[in-house]
Structure 1
Amino acid sequence: MGEEPQKTEEKRKMPKAQEKNNSSPNANNTGPTQANTRSAAAASQKNPSTDSDSREIIRVINALKTDMQGHNDCLKQELTQLRQEINGKLNSLTTAVQSLSDHVDEAESPLCTYLKQQRSLQQKLTDLESWSRRNNMRIFGVAEGEEGDSVLKFVEKFIKSELPASQNMELKIQRAHQTLAPRSRPDAPPRPIVVNFLEFTTKELILREAWKKKKIQVGERFVYFDHDYASEIVKKRKEYNTVKKALKEKGICFQTPHTSMQIHWATGVRTYNTAQEAQRELRKRGFPVEEPEPTEGESPAETRLLELMGWQQAAGCREKGSAAARRVREKLCEFQRGHTKDS
């Protein structure tokens, strides 16, 4: 019985000891926290300028924000004014371009008409010039100085000595002179001599006799005779140069009357009215020939105007018409060849 009161007293004392033990860590933790607080307070007391510097930085940042906001407002206002000016200028440019477009539309049709009229007048002028030259003949290859004091006397003597058919006839040469181009250099081809006859028949007779003889020589140079063509006709005849070169390499005979070409194929003589037509025929037959450059027809400006005005269909119709005309000519040539064989 005496032991039980003693145990009860020990149990009462044990919780108090545990409470003391449990409270000891809290006391230990509180110590460092208070120490940190005291150190921070001491640091703040030691550096009083830190807070003032922070406040100054914040004030400067706010001032910069205010200035930037003001500049942004000014830029927005200037951009708005610039956009309004650009829009106004664009509107005025649009109006001006529309006005120019209207003027161009009004001028295209008359200009195209004038170009066609100019081409027609040029063709008529070329025809008149050709008629005025029909009694003329050109002699190519006579060296400069061979004519002596009188070109007319030299030509008359030269023709009668080289062409026997003209010895007993009166040539009736009215004028004879070299072309009006500058005197040629020694290494350049000499200027041709232009001879004007009183009668067309005399000129034709001289040309036929000269072409029959083929090779006529004066000194060391070969001389040949031809018509005195107008400048536009000369340009047109030059288109056949590439075709002539290809035919000469193959040894095929040909003739170029006026602005056409006659080629003596093995199947017969065939006439081509343009250099492009002859070139296409040679390519079909396997001849290497370059594309000739046309010198007649619609000018680039006229072609451009026709394209702008939407006249491509008319151009296509013209091409179809020319193709049909070529087919008709080919059939006529075939008929003529067949008729010749039958006869």
Structure 2
Amino acid sequence: MGKRGVKAKASSEMVTSNCSENETRCDAEDALSTLRDDLIVDKVTSNISKVLDSKIHEVIKPINELTEKFDNLIERMGTVEQRVSDLEDVTATSEPRIAALETQLKKAMERLESFENQSRRQNVRIIGLKEGAEGRAPVDFFKKWIPEVLGLQQGAITVDRAHRTGPPMRLTGTEGPRAVLVRLHHYTDTQKILQAARAKCTVNTEAGKVSFYQDFSAEVVRKRKESVNAREALREAGIKYSFLYPAIIKIFNPDGTNISLATIQDVKDYVSKLPRPK
């Protein structure tokens, strides 16, 4: 081989060596670039994960709290439902007993009211008498005054007690005199007074117009007040009737038959069928 061949061979070897070094350098640079990219990706991913974890924690925390509350609520609702079911069972077994007790209580109240009104049978309630007209001896006053205004025989009645009912007018602010409650010794005296008062219709005295009524319990008075308008309609229609205890309206028909209206609804139904005045 000549000198030119040796130089060519050496030049070729140098080129080959330079290419190998360049390739190695390129590979190293690629590796470094890939490593750098991986580090960047890892860092970005780590940051994103931290941010997401923080945000998700903020969302999950109230959700967990709500879930806990819902669980507690469901548990309490289950307890309530069980209690309601137990109460329903108890009520179902108690209803017959309660109904029986209500029936017994109603009967007891009716008997009590009946006893109260029986104890009032000897009382007469006087409305419209001027305050103070009876003076300081009301028993002596009414023993003499009642027969005079009703046209009864003197000394025909025996009065046990007499007094005004309710608080004084200055305390209540109401107008008009308070009612007078007169307790007769005999029930027959009460009947005489009420019959005489009905016969006179209007009782006028020096102290003004007065009215005599039988004394009833508050419940009977309430029941009787309910039929005031109905009784007025019966009178306007020319219907003959009597007003019986406790609040029964007995209708006397022209054909001789009678009808008893025991409840206010019966009375209203009967009045609604009456012909209207022209």
Take 2:176 and 2:195, find their aligned partners in 1: how far apart are those partners? Answer: 24
Go from structure 1 to structure 2 and tell me whether the alpha carbon gap of 1:287 and 1:231 turns closer, same or farther (over 3 Å shift).
farther
Q: How far is 1:76 from its partner?
A: 5.8
SS across alignment from 2:250: strand
Q: How far is 1:126 from its partner?
A: 1.4
SS across alignment from 1:121: helix
Take 1:248 and 1:144, find their aligned partners in 2: how far apart are those partners? Answer: 33
**Which residue of structure 2 lines up, in the alignment, with residue 325 of structure 1?**
none
**Which residue of structure 1 lines up, in the alignment, with residue 33 of structure 2?**
none
Go from structure 1 to structure 2 and tell me whether the alpha carbon gap of 1:78 and 1:202 turns closer, same or farther (over 3 Å shift).
closer
**Which residue of structure 2 lines up, in the alignment, with residue 163 of structure 1?**
150
Take 1:168 and 1:219, find their aligned partners in 2: how far apart are those partners? Answer: 19
Deviations 1:100-150 (CA, angstroms, capped at 9, x unpaired): 333333443323322221111111111112222222222221111111222
SS across alignment from 2:169: coil
**Which residue of structure 2 lines up, in the alignment, with residue 89 of structure 1?**
76
Equivalent residues in 2 for 1:251-270, closer than 5 Å: 254-258=241-245, 259-263=247-251, 270=259
Take 1:87 and 1:155, find their aligned partners in 2: how far apart are those partners? Answer: 76
**Which residue of structure 2 lines up, in the alignment, with residue 126 of structure 1?**
113
**Which residue of structure 1 lines up, in the alignment, with residue 31 of structure 2?**
none
Matched positions, count: 234
Gap regions ≥5 residues in structure 2: 1-36
> Is 1:112 matched with 2:112?
no
Go from structure 1 to structure 2 and tell me whether the alpha carbon gap of 1:225 and 1:71 turns closer, same or farther (over 3 Å shift).
closer
Amino acid at match of 2:169: S
Go from structure 1 to structure 2 and tell me whether the alpha carbon gap of 1:187 and 1:86 turns closer, same or farther (over 3 Å shift).
closer
Amino acid at match of 2:270: E
TM-score of the superposed pair, with normalisation by structure 1: 0.58
Go from structure 1 to structure 2 and tell me whether the alpha carbon gap of 1:274 and 1:74 turns closer, same or farther (over 3 Å shift).
closer
Alignment partner of 1:174 out of 160, 164, 183: 160
Take 1:71 and 1:173, find their aligned partners in 2: how far apart are those partners? Answer: 92
Equivalent residues in 2 for 1:137-216, closer than 5 Å: 137-164=124-151, 166-168=152-154, 170-179=156-165, 181-184=166-169, 188-216=175-203
Q: How far is 1:211 from its partner?
A: 0.8
Take 1:67 and 1:79, find their aligned partners in 2: how far apart are those partners? Answer: 19
Take 1:201 and 1:267, find their aligned partners in 2: how far apart are those partners? Answer: 33
Please say if residues 129 and 207 of structure 2, whose CA atoms lie closer than 8 Å, have aligned partners that are also in contact: no
**Which residue of structure 2 lines up, in the alignment, with residue 299 of structure 1?**
none
SS across alignment from 2:260: strand
Amino acid at match of 1:261: I
**Which residue of structure 1 lines up, in the alignment, with residue 262 of structure 2?**
273
Go from structure 1 to structure 2 and tell me whether the alpha carbon gap of 1:192 and 1:67 turns closer, same or farther (over 3 Å shift).
closer
Please say if residues 143 and 158 of structure 2, whose CA atoms lie closer than 8 Å, have aligned partners that are also in contact: no
Go from structure 1 to structure 2 and tell me whether the alpha carbon gap of 1:140 and 1:79 turns closer, same or farther (over 3 Å shift).
closer
Q: How far is 1:66 from its partner?
A: 4.5
Deviations 1:40-93 (CA, angstroms, capped at 9, x unpaired): xxxxxxxxxxx9xx9898875555334445555656655554443333222222
Please say if residues 128 and 177 of structure 2, whose CA atoms lie closer than 8 Å, have aligned partners that are also in contact: yes
Please say if residues 147 and 156 of structure 2, whose CA atoms lie closer than 8 Å, have aligned partners that are also in contact: no
Q: How far is 1:188 from its partner?
A: 2.2
Alignment partner of 2:213 out of 211, 226, 232: 226
SS across alignment from 1:256: strand
Please say if residues 216 and 222 of structure 1, whose CA atoms lie closer than 8 Å, have aligned partners that are also in contact: yes
Take 1:239 and 1:150, find their aligned partners in 2: how far apart are those partners? Answer: 37
Take 1:226 and 1:135, find their aligned partners in 2: how far apart are those partners? Answer: 11
Gap regions ≥5 residues in structure 1: 1-50, 289-343
Q: RMSD of the TM alignment (CA)?
A: 3.3
Q: Which has the higher contact order (CA 8 A, sep 6+)?
A: 2
**Which residue of structure 2 lines up, in the alignment, with residue 4 of structure 1?**
none
Q: How far is 1:274 from its partner?
A: 2.1
Question: Aligned residues: percent identity?
Answer: 26
**Which residue of structure 1 lines up, in the alignment, with residue 231 of structure 2?**
244
**Which residue of structure 2 lines up, in the alignment, with residue 282 of structure 1?**
271
